[in-house]
Chains A and B, each alone.
Chain A
Amino acid sequence: MQVSAMAIDLARIQFAFTVSFHIIFPALSIGLASFVAILEWRWLKTGEAVYLDLCRYWSKVFAVGFGMGVVSGLVMAYEFGTNWSAFSNFSGSITGPLLSYEVLTAFFLEAGFLGIMLFGWDKVSKKAHFAASCMVAIGTIISMFWILSSNSWMQTPTGYSIVNGRVEPQDWFAVIFNPSFPYRLAHMGLSAFIATALLVAGSSAWHLLNGRRDRGVKISFSMALAMLTLLAPLQALVGDAHGLNTLEYQPAKLAAMEGIWETETDGTALNLFGIPDMAAEKTHYAVSIPHLGSLILTHSWNGQIRGLKSFAPQDRPNSLLLFWSFRLMVGLGLLMIALGLLHLWLRRRDRLYDSAALQRFALWMSPAGFIALLAGWVTTEAGRQPWVVYGLLRTNQAVSPISQHQLSVSLSILVCVYLLVFGTGLYYLIKLLRSGPAQHERTAAGDKEQLGALTTWSGRRPISAAETPIDANPNNKE
């Protein structure tokens, strides 16, 4: 069955839309699961109530994000077959086992222990509960391992042979640890932690700006910014290494990211600004710095970078899109480093919780991690085009034999449902962030007193009893 060009575009739009929506939630889950586990560990270690409050508060945020991740991920697991059946048929023998390992080693671990983590506070011992939280956190990271291995294999396939027009795995080690995988894993892992840190810092900044100065808010703010300060510069180094890897294995992607058309022998300039034009084969209004391209991308003064013109026109990814999505990501990354440095400077001057400038900066940056993450994924996925499996299977050959009509129906349904369901989900998430962690009255005997027995502490429901529902009218709060 011949698939129309329109159907291919619709299938691509649908996948881009659903996967972009999806990836936000796993990234949040990866970061928050570890954050919650660390908070719980500090509670067990110090016995201070504030860590328990924080742990329970952030696990609620985690629960909403995780639930949305599960259901939007379910769509992904079936979309490969419904929309991309030729791709599944061609390379299912490799992506299938990797996905199976993800389900077996990660999804079940997360889902199996999530119940205990969220609802098992007074059903199991403190240590068993902590173990469950750790299992969930480990599950999120194992999940990332497998899915990035599968994605990286599509970018830089190794360890396979082609038999009867289909992929057949030859060496599983080479498949899993394909050339771009270590870089992508490190890059995505860091970005998940950074995005979560920015969200935690931003929401805490909002409470600080609104005058809250209780320990819970301060601890969240301080921990998140410390995390950011550590990871944002590290991310720049990892991103640089990833770029070198892309230059080696996917040179067309790199040329498109930088809007480079000619292959120059005596050093390539770096375009700071420009409007790459695919038809005219040049970058308009380019503002560039000589030799900087070579220096950054090859780490040498005259390093050679293949220009887009050296690739056949039908093999070129869209440079206009990549040029700007890449710059958006890098620009936000630089702002993150700046936020980290500002925080460090204010912390040393003991003004961490008093600087409105820092709080506003952090508040504005709270979605930056997710935006950068999406921009990065757009860069790497659109940069793989026109291939779905790089060099092996073109995207326009990967689509299912389904009609344009069916695709437009399903796309409209999915867009409506996602906007409705995940839109309100996000709205609740933001409400939850605005309500902030619990603020307990201090007892005369101090914090530790409240923790004698968990179940008798402020009635049978330690936190939720005193809590306002997340959709309550904000005006009658407090």
Chain B
Amino acid sequence: MLDLSLIWAAIIALGVFIYVVLDGFDLGIGLLFPLFPDKQDRDVMMNTAAPVWDGNETWLVLGGACLLAAFPVVYSAVLSALYLPLILMLVGLIFRGVAFEIRAKAKRTQPLWDLAFMGGSALATFCQGMALGAYIQGIKVEHREFAGSGMDWLTPFSLFTGLGLLVTYAMLGAGWLLIKTEGRLQARLYQLLRPLSMLFLFVVALVSLVTPMVDPAIASRWFTTPNIFWLLPFPLGVALCGVGIWRALQRQQENRPYLLTLLMVALGYIGFLISIWPHLIPPSITLWEAAAPASSQRFALYGAVIILPVILAYTALGYWVFRGKVRASDSGYH
């Protein structure tokens, strides 16, 4: 008998990761907008993501829908616990999503849409980061529903993870743009990436140190023998990636900083999964306790197993069609 709950937890974890990988860079573009005031640069930056942002954001919808299907308790308890940050995140996504469609078609009001794009990206990212922090710190659940108070999510730690995610997405955005641009714009990105990557490495180090401190259970998972030996590759891998990014920037290797940042995000993400395992609502509800009826999980799983590979294939096709550098003179964008 297959462990349906485990499979679903894995699918959702993968979906969230793909979301971070894909939407991370396009939110990051919005975060970098204030540093690139030139209209033509902004056009290029936005055009690198214009054909794909819809699909990127769909992974977030998938996460919500699959959570509702496979673990309705988690969906209902976590979403009501993180009420305000999630509503504000949606507000941010509204602003930037509409800006994607309208900015290129507007002229007189373009500065306002630039503002909507920047503000929306920043708000959405910061709220996602805060939601993540609040989730790690734990959510109070009694009788299968949220039993905490409305502002439980607001802590120094969640504010810090909010800022941390801003830096991470900015890093992903800059790395992505390095691949997709050339000339003067790319040179400025190299310049920007030096201090940004230092800041990023600092944030990663700090998050890794602070997270075990906010939760003794996480500390004991990481810092007891023999776990500590098994888990040693994670901090080592992160450190190697950091060195790799620095060297790639010095040698002007345009693809590497983005890929290495992704690798670091992946390591951090797996570290996060290890920290909360086997809970779906830290610190009390495990993924088996939160499971929907097997008939629901099985029915939805048929669809996911058959369709997800197809989705991944045509998502890849989309990226392939729009591969290569984006130039200001390009036709076809808006």
Contacts and interface: CB of A to CB of B under 8 A. Distances in A.
Given A82-B80, A101-B300, A112 B86 contact: no
A115 B150 contact: no
Interface centre among B97, B108, B332 (most CB of A within 10 A): B332
B146 interface: yes
Interface string B89-112: 011011101101110011111000
Interface centre among A75, A100, A425 (most CB of B within 10 A): A100
A97 B72 CA distance: 10
A241 B134 CA distance: 50
A109 B67 CA distance: 20
A332 interface: no
B220 interface: no
A83 B86 CA distance: 11
Given A81-B75, A89-B76, A96-B75, A63 B91 contact: no
Given A85-B80, A123-B322, A401-B147, A421 B94 contact: yes
A166 B155 CA distance: 34
A475 B254 CA distance: 47
Nearest to B54: A111
B260 interface: no
Interface stretch (B200-208, B242-250, B262-270, B291-299): B291-299
Chain A contact-residue range equals 35 or more
Contacts of B37: none
Given A85-B76, A92-B72, A402-B83, A75 B322 contact: no
Contacts of A327: none
Interface in B116-173: 116, 144-147, 150
B115 interface: no
A462 B154 CA distance: 52
B42 to A, nearest CB: 15
A111 B144 CA distance: 35
Nearest to A431: B105
A391 interface: no
Nearest to A469: B107
Given A78-B90, A172-B299, A401-B145, A112 B108 contact: no
Interface string A105-135: 1011111111110111111100000000000
Contacts of A86: 76, 145
B318 interface: yes
B58 A81 contact: no
A163 interface: yes
A89 B331 contact: no
B54 A114 contact: yes
Return the 6 tightest CB-CB contacts between A and B, nearest first: A92-B72, A81-B79, A115-B51, A96-B69, A85-B76, A96-B68
30 contacts: A67-B100, A68-B98, A68-B101, A70-B58, A72-B94, A75-B90, A81-B78, A88-B72, A88-B75, A88-B79, A92-B69, A94-B296, A95-B68, A96-B70, A111-B54, A112-B317, A114-B51, A116-B318, A119-B50, A119-B332, A120-B51, A123-B332, A169-B295, A401-B147, A402-B83, A406-B83, A409-B84, A410-B83, A425-B101, A470-B106
